[in-house]
Amino acid sequence: MRRSFVTHQFVDVIPANPDEGILYISIRYRTAVHQCPCGCGNKVVTPIKSARWHLCFDGDSVSLSPSVGSWQFPCRSHYWIRNNEIRWAEKWTQEEIEAGRERDSGALRAYYEGRTREQVDVPDQSVAERKKSGLLSRIWQWLARH
Ligand SMILES: [Zn+2]
């Protein structure tokens, strides 16, 4: 039977077999886990990371964004968790699944490319600076000699 709400539980370590109707949240491992609310019994793992899911705790209830689309399970459940409420969405069509996958990998790519760019930018800049100052000192040397 489809559930319409979950209760949240902050835990240190995520249990291997989560109980039905509980959203386990581990801040330490930046992960939330719950059993698929359709009743199929599958474990849904949602890593809390900037390019994956965001968790919002308002002191009483939790929300996860974006939505959870379990297209890897036969049930293909798709729902939002908003203030501990399960808001069921339409089942995804194959096209929507593909689009979702692309969007996800795009977000991940942007996330990792952003990181790489940051790491690459600094040495590139300093090489340019070195070249510039090298040229300047060569000009000074030339001026000094003439
Ligand atoms: Zn399910």
Among the ranges 39-48, 119-128, 133-142, which has the highest mean pLDDT value? 39-48
Residue 109 CA to ligand 1 centre (angstroms) = 28
Sequence-distant contacts of 97-101: CB under 8 A, at least 24 apart: 97/69, 97/71, 100/69, 100/71
Are residues 81 and 23 in contact, defined by beta-carbon separation less than 8 angstroms?
yes
Residue 74 CA to ligand 1 centre (angstroms) = 7
Residue 110 CA to ligand 1 centre (angstroms) = 30
> For 19-40, what is each residue's pLDDT tens digit?
999 999 999 999 999 999 999 9
What predicted TM-score, i.e. pTM, was given to this entire model?
0.65
Q: Structural domain boundaries of the chain?
A: 7-92
Q: What is the model's pLDDT at position 58? A: 97
Would you call the peptide bond into 37 cis, given omega within 30 degrees of 0 as the criterion? no
Cα 75 to the center of its chain, rounded Å? 23
Residue 94 CA to ligand 1 centre (angstroms) = 17
